[in-house]
Structure formats: structure tokens, C-alpha cells
């Protein structure tokens, strides 16, 4: 069920909002933002998103806007879970979160290691004319291997992390591209 309060504007009493009242640009824009969120959360497919955003852009009354959300659930805080999650799924999610966390730490450590190696190499080679500055590269590789061992990140973990990040970047880019394209079509 849709609640009229979902399109309430700050400082505007709820009793003023009735289905027959005219909708303005602010209400239409808010409806477009909400539809974008439902699309991003997977409640709408691309066809439904296109159809509903088109209707939202030309809606004349608040009732027309309300009708766009009639079959959608209330938007909730993404941190709130509405259905109980099986214990095995919770532990798998925890394990995945730990792997991703270790992956982020490893990425930062690797960045620092290789930045230091490159700085010392260029300083040693070009400033101090040290002939064996190349030794820093095997030392950097050893330090990078040590970081992986210390954080317990294996090859499979790195492949999984990269796969998830790549998929996430692609999905986000597609959603943003599609939303931007739709906004241009609607002249917003």
C-alpha cells in the first residue's frame, strides 16, 4: 500500500495532500528519485522503470503519483532485514564480509608497499646513483606476499574479490547510465 506521506514535502501538512491536488515539479522529482531507488533495489525491471518514470514526469495530480507506488513495498532502511535469514546464510555472509574486509586491507597495504618501492627505486637510481636499486622490486614482491600471508588472503579469495568488485562496478555503471539517460529523455 502506498502512503501519501511518502511524497510529503517538508513544511507541507499531510492533510493538504489529497489525490485530486495538483502535483508540482518537486513532487514529480521526488517520485522520480524514489522510482530510481526501487529500480536500484531490484523491485522494478527496466521496462517498468521506463514506464513509471515516464508517467511520473507528466503526472498532474498527487493521485497519479500515488498510483505509481501502489504495488511497491514501503522503502525501508537498507540495514533492516524484513525476513529471518537462515543461520548458514548469515555465517556465509559474515565470512564473505570478512574476506572483503581483508581484501580492502590488502589493497591498501599493497598500494603502500609498491608506492614506497617505486619512490625508493627512483631515489636510489636517479638521486643517489645506487647500482643495486633493482633489489627493491624483489623485496616489494616479498613484502606483498607477506601481507597476503598475514591477512590470510589466498588466490581464490583474490579472484572472488575481484569478480565481485568488477560485477558491482558494471551493475552500478549500468544503473547510473540508464538513470541518466532516462533523465535526459524526460528533460529533467
User: Which pLDDT tens digit goes with each residue over 131-149?
Assistant: 899 999 999 999 999 999 9
How many folded domains does the chain comprise? 1
Q: What share of the chain is helix, strand, coil (3-state, %, to 5)?
A: 70, 0, 30
Q: Is the pLDDT of residue 186 over 80?
A: yes
Model pLDDT, residue 106 = 93
Q: Flag whether 55 is in a domain.
A: no
pLDDT tens digits for 61-110? Answer: 999 999 999 999 987 654 444 445 566 777 888 888 899 899 999 999 99
Report the C-alpha gap between 59 and 35 in whole angstroms.
14
Average pLDDT over residues 44-66: 89
Average pLDDT over residues 161-186: 89
Counting residues of the chain whose pLDDT is more than 70, the rounded percentage is: 84
Q: Flag whether 169 is in a domain.
A: yes
CB atoms within 10 A of CB 69: 21
Question: What is the pTM for the complete model shown?
Answer: 0.51
Counting residues of the chain whose pLDDT is more than 90, the rounded percentage is: 43
Model pLDDT, residue 9 = 43
**Residue-range definition of the domain harbouring residue 126:** 100-186
Q: Flag whether 139 is in a domain.
A: yes
Report the C-alpha gap between 2 and 73 in whole angstroms.
8
Q: Flag whether 17 is in a domain.
A: no
Report the C-alpha gap between 61 and 129 in whole angstroms.
76
Q: Flag whether 119 is in a domain.
A: yes
Burial class (CB in 10 A: 0-12, 13-18, 19+), 87: exposed
Q: Is the pLDDT of residue 6 over 60?
A: no
**Please, what is the Cα angle at 38 between 33 and 42, to 5 degrees?**
145
Name the average pLDDT for the chain: 83
Q: Flag whether 91 is in a domain.
A: no
Q: Flag whether 135 is in a domain.
A: yes
Q: Flag whether 28 is in a domain.
A: no
Amino acid at each position: 500500500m502506498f502512503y501519501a506521506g511518502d511524497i510529503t514535502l517538508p513544511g507541507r501538512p499531510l492533510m493538504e495532500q489529497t489525490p485530486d491536488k495538483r502535483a508540482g515539479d518537486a513532487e514529480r522529482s521526488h517520485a522520480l528519485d524514489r522510482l530510481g531507488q526501487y529500480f536500484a533495489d531490484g523491485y522494478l525491471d527496466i521496462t517498468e522503470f521506463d514506464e513509471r518514470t515516464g508517467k511520473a514526469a507528466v503526472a498532474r495530480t498527487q493521485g497519479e503519483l500515488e498510483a505509481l507506488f501502489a504495488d511497491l513495498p514501503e522503502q525501508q532502511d537498507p540495514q533492516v532485514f524484513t525476513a529471518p535469514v537462515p543461520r548458514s546464510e548469515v555465517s556465509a555472509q559474515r565470512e564473505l564480509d570478512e574476506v572483503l574486509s581483508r581484501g580492502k586491507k590488502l589493497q591498501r597495504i599493497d598500494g603502500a608497499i609498491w608506492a614506497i618501492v617505486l619512490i625508493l627505486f627512483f631515489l636510489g637510481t636517479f638521486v643517489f646513483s645506487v647500482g643495486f636499486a633493482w633489489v627493491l622490486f624483489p623485496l616489494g614482491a616479498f613484502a606483498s606476499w607477506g601481507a597476503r600471508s598475514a591477512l590470510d588472503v589466498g588466490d581464490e579469495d583474490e579472484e572472488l574479490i575481484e569478480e565481485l568488485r568488477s560485477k558491482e562496478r558494471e551493475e552500478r555503471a549500468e544503473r547510473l547510465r540508464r538513470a541518466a539517460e532516462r533523465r535526459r529523455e524526460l528533460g529533467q
